[in-house]
Structure 1
């Protein structure tokens, strides 16, 4: 897959990724792993993001961590295996997006920093984003993505020169289809001016305050691939899009195609794995089973003639014969018996407060 051309000036730019959230909307998957560490198209989601950063020529990365902070360093180490120099800053208490950005200030080495929300899958051309920032001599540049329907988001209008004019709350009649895509370029001096040690919202406090003060806020507008992976439905969609090559990455551990089957998985000849599904290491899929647009974590088992669609099956979970799992999340080590039917928002995970082998059920909403 074609990647953005490296920017010869990108080595003077720091990359900051905010990965401190608890991922409550993805439970039970995030009970055992931080959201950016969930296996997504064969590797932790964060690895896909880092591959894009590396492809754009940035090498110094600061991870702002909190929830399960140690797991990031255990996997990525100092970053050298990925061609990067990675540092870690742990957030002891939730500080909001602005507070989390300010919390990493003392690790920055350059006068420019690109800030990424750690749960966004994007096709943004980072070189073009930095070019916009420099061309407009901006204090902050925001990636703004055009969406078909902006009513579910706050909108961010810009003037003909590309400067942001306002930050608007959700409304039934948004004046623009441009929304904040969760990626920013900051001048270091502006970043350091964010109040330290307290909760700060960039959307409600930092950006409006900068506009009021006369600072230059630029908008880099595009309509490239963009997806917030915060929900189970979005997670399986994003993983499938990475496998099928719809979303860009240099970290896919296999060829782009209709399925990604990792080493050590066993898939019966009469089973069907389609729709951008990922089958993890040590997974067993028996005869007649269908896995469509789903993610099967390492060590899981799908018994004969089971059908799994647009779902996530956790590590070492088991789906019984002739069962149907549709738009559902099955947590690590959960057991779904034969001929069960789980649909639309059902989440299942083992409950430590119940007898061995018991599971808890919940539904979205």
Structure 2
């Protein structure tokens, strides 16, 4: 893919991912294994696929992990740079914090925890053809009450930013992908927290700037919760969500070094991490096994995450739950309904049922 002239990207990856604990105790949310690779790899591969090569990562929590894994970006065909956010600056503040690294007139900005199928070239084309100061990807959702909504006029111009309401006037929400003119970023106040939706965008509207909406119904998912993380990983494996980092979609991905017994059943977009083991008769549906996880004979894992080095013993049933790194779930235990087992915890055998944190 040839380079896309006049455009570069910023990816904001500074959050602590508290809603995904205990998984994010050991790694930032964008670095969690998702369909076999760190989640951020999927976004970076899509950015490169459309021809953008210069990418700045705005980091904070466990900032060193990103550079240790991606380095200068050469393996992905990218020129990666890093800027550490020393204190929380909110979204617009974090964007302003990387301004000194920017080179191009158009800057695509991404929230690093969103899985999206939007046509990135289409967003940039909308921005350029409308001569906007900022263009926002707006996605239509079935239930906009859970989100702030963003109405647009007949020409696609953004007219307001509205808080959550029981009767939203539109089904369009902010999808966490923007194109800024670089001058707009440079005008954001530096060195203090600035909210993009409560301060930057309303201020631009008041000043008469053009904020354009790029509206579509493409795949979109915020990976902020364990259930969403599992769904996103499964959708990537199955090809429901697009990624150049998943070359052959299917029912499951088994990474090199993993051992899966021939009688085990893997379905629903399951991922089995490197060095993991799945024993005879186990059934995995929409499961995410991090590296070195072990599933015993006849165990059932559905829509759940097993952390690195964790052990689920024979006959256990795990549904809609999270098992932390190196945790042990005893034989015939049952975990359901959002249970979370913290790293290193050992649950007893004898068929104990858990439906809360352990």
TM-score, with length taken from structure 2: 0.96
Tell me, yes or no, if structure 1 residue 283 matches structure 2 residue 276.
yes
1:274 corresponding residue in structure 2:
267
2:336 corresponding residue in structure 1:
343
2:224 corresponding residue in structure 1:
230
Task: Output one character per residue of 1:125-174: Cα deviation in whole Å (capped at 9) or x when no partner.
Answer: 11100010011100000000001110000110000101000000101111
Aligned-CA RMSD value: 1.5
What displacement does 1:9 show? Answer: 7.2
The whole-number CA distance in structure 1 between the counterparts of 2:343 and 2:20 is 15
Contact persistence 1:350–1:358 (CA under 8 A): no
Structure 1 residues 59 and 31, CA gap change in structure 2 (3 angstroms): same
Contact persistence 1:25–1:232 (CA under 8 A): yes
Contact persistence 2:329–2:346 (CA under 8 A): no
SS in 2 for 1:185: strand
Contact persistence 2:276–2:290 (CA under 8 A): yes
Q: 1:330 aligns with which of 323, 328, 335?
A: 323
1:199 corresponding residue in structure 2:
193
What displacement does 1:255 show? Answer: 2.0
SS in 1 for 2:81: strand
Task: Output one character per residue of 1:246-274: Cα deviation in whole Å (capped at 9) or x when no partner.
Answer: 0000112x521011111111111111111
The whole-number CA distance in structure 2 between the counterparts of 1:357 and 1:236 is 23
Contact persistence 2:307–2:323 (CA under 8 A): yes
Q: 2:212 aligns with which of 202, 207, 218?
A: 218
1:3 corresponding residue in structure 2:
none
What displacement does 1:350 show? Answer: 2.9
The whole-number CA distance in structure 2 between the counterparts of 1:71 and 1:151 is 36
Note the residue ranges of structure 1 that are not aligned, 5 or more in a row.
1-5
Q: 1:71 aligns with which of 65, 69, 76?
A: 65
Task: Output one character per residue of 1:41-99: Cα deviation in whole Å (capped at 9) or x when no partner.
Answer: 00000000000000010000000000000010001000011100000000001100010
The whole-number CA distance in structure 2 between the counterparts of 1:38 and 1:160 is 41
1:89 corresponding residue in structure 2:
83
Tell me, yes or no, if structure 1 residue 262 matches structure 2 residue 255.
yes
Q: 1:121 aligns with which of 115, 119, 122?
A: 115
Contact persistence 2:90–2:195 (CA under 8 A): yes
Tell me, yes or no, if structure 1 residue 317 matches structure 2 residue 310.
yes
What displacement does 1:362 show? Answer: 8.5
Contact persistence 2:330–2:347 (CA under 8 A): no
The whole-number CA distance in structure 1 between the counterparts of 2:347 and 2:260 is 28
Task: Output one character per residue of 1:193-219: Cα deviation in whole Å (capped at 9) or x when no partner.
Answer: 111000110010000010011000000
Structure 1 residues 214 and 69, CA gap change in structure 2 (3 angstroms): same
SS in 2 for 1:54: helix
Contact persistence 1:59–1:84 (CA under 8 A): yes
What displacement does 1:357 show? Answer: 5.0
Note the residue ranges of structure 2 that are not aligned, 5 or more in a row.
349-353
Tell me, yes or no, if structure 1 residue 299 matches structure 2 residue 281.
no
Q: Stretches of 4+ moved more than 3 A in 1?
A: 356-359, 361-364
Aligned pair count?
Answer: 352
